[in-house]
Amino acid sequence: MSAAHNLEVPGPSFVRDAHGESVIERWLRRGIEVLAAAAVVGEVALLFVGIVARAVFHQPLIWSDELASILFLWLAMLGSALAVQRSCHMRLTFFVSHMTPRAQAWAETLAVAAAAAFFALVMHPAYDYVQDQAFVETPALGWSGSVRALAIPFGCAAALVSCGLRLARHDRRHIVGAVALMVLIAGACYLARAPLTHMGQGALLVFFVGVLGTAVMAGVPIAFAFSLATSAYLLTTTSTPLSVVVGRMDEGMSTLILLAVPMFVLLGQLVHVTGVARVMVAFLASLLGHVRGGMSYVLLGAMLLISGISGSKTADMAAVAPVLFPEMRKRGMKDGELVSLLAASGAMSETIPPSLVLIAIASVTGISIAALFTAGILPAIVLAFVLGVVAWWRAGREEETDESRAGAVRAPWSHVRRTFVIALPALLLPFLIRSAVVEGIATATEVSTIGIAYSLVIGLLIYRGGLKWKAVMPMLLQTAALSGAILFIVGAASAMGWALTQSGFSHDLASMMTRVPGGAAGFMLVSIVAFIVLGSVLEGIPAIVLFGPLLFPVAHQLGIHEVHYAMVVVLAMGLGVFAPPFGLCYYAACIIGEVSPEAGLRRIWIYLGMLLLGLIAIAFVPWISIGFL
What confidence tens digit (pLDDT) does each residue in 61-110 have?
888 888 988 999 999 999 999 999 998 887 877 788 888 999 999 999 99
SS3 content of the chain, % helix, strand, coil (to 5): 75, 0, 25
* SS3 of residue 137 by DSSP: strand
Q: Which class for 185: exposed (0-12), middle (13-18), buried (19 or more C-beta within 10 A)?
A: middle
For the chain, what percent of residues have pLDDT higher than 90? Answer: 29
Close Cβ partners of 627 (under 8 Å, ≥ 6 residues apart) = 378
Assess contact for 333 and 394: CB atoms under 8 A.
Answer: no
**What's at 175, amino acid-wise?**
I
Q: Regarding predicted confidence, which is higher, 235 or 442?
A: 235
Over residues 333-360, mean pLDDT: 85
Q: What is the pLDDT of residue 405?
A: 46
How much is the average pLDDT of 559-567?
Answer: 93
If you average pLDDT over every residue of the chain, what do you get?
A: 83
Note whether 487 and 253 are within 8 A (CB). Answer: yes
Model confidence band, residue 3 (pLDDT cutoffs 50, 70, 90): very low
List, in sequence order, the alpha helices (H) in 218-334.
222-237, 242-253, 260-273, 276-288, 294-310, 313-330
10: confidence class by pLDDT, cuts 50, 70, 90: very low
Return the closest-CA partner of residue 42 out of 71, 83, 76: 71
Nearest Cα to Cα of residue 218 among 344, 303, 111, 372:
111
pLDDT given for residue 308 in this prediction: 66
Query: Can you tell me the distance from the alpha carbon of 308 to that of 349, in angstroms, rounded to the nearest whole number?
Result: 9
Residues 357 and 542: beta-carbon distance below 8 Å: no
**What is the mean pLDDT of the segment spanning 453-465?**
81
Tell me the pLDDT tens digit for each residue of 131-175: 999 888 888 888 998 999 999 999 999 999 999 999 988 999 999
- At residue 255, the pLDDT reads 76
Instruction: Give the pLDDT of residue 398.
Output: 55
Model confidence at 406, in pLDDT bands (50, 70, 90)? very low
Across the range 403-425, mean pLDDT stands at 74
> What are the residues whose beta carbons fall under 8 Å from the beta carbon of 124, sequence distance 6 or more?
none
CA angle, 30 then 35 then 39, to 5°: 145
The region of weakest confidence among 1-15, 202-216, 444-458, 534-548 is 1-15
Q: pTM to 2 decimals?
A: 0.80
Mean pLDDT along residues 525-553: 80
**Distance between CA atoms of 358 and 573, rounded to whole angstroms?**
12
Query: Best-predicted range by mean pLDDT among 4-18, 45-59, 112-126?
Result: 112-126
Residue 492, pLDDT score: 87
Q: Give the per-residue pLDDT at 396.
A: 62
Residue 417 has pLDDT above 70, yes or no: yes
Whether the pLDDT of residue 241 is over 70: the answer is: yes
- Does residue 408 carry a pLDDT above 80? no
Give residue 235's pLDDT band: very low, low, confident or very high (50, 70, 90).
Answer: very high
Q: Between these two residues, 152 and 276, which has the higher pLDDT value?
A: 152
Instruction: State the average pLDDT over residues 428-434.
Output: 81
Lowest mean pLDDT among 438-442, 549-553, 615-619: 438-442
The DSSP output letter for 20 is S
% of the chain at pLDDT higher than 70: 90
More confident residue, 292 or 418: 418
pLDDT of residue 566: 93
User: What residue type is 510 in one-letter code?
Assistant: A
As a whole number of Å, the CA-based R_g of the chain is 24
402 vs 57 pLDDT, higher one: 57
Predicted confidence (pLDDT) at residue 404 exceeds the cutoff of 60:
no
H helix runs in 366-468, sequence order: 369-375, 377-397, 402-407, 413-438, 447-461
> What local confidence, expressed as pLDDT, does residue 12 receive?
43
**581 vs 303, more confident:** 303
**Most confidently modeled range among 408-412, 434-438, 538-542, 578-582:** 578-582
The alpha carbon of 420 is separated from its chain's Cα centroid by a whole number of angstroms, namely: 32
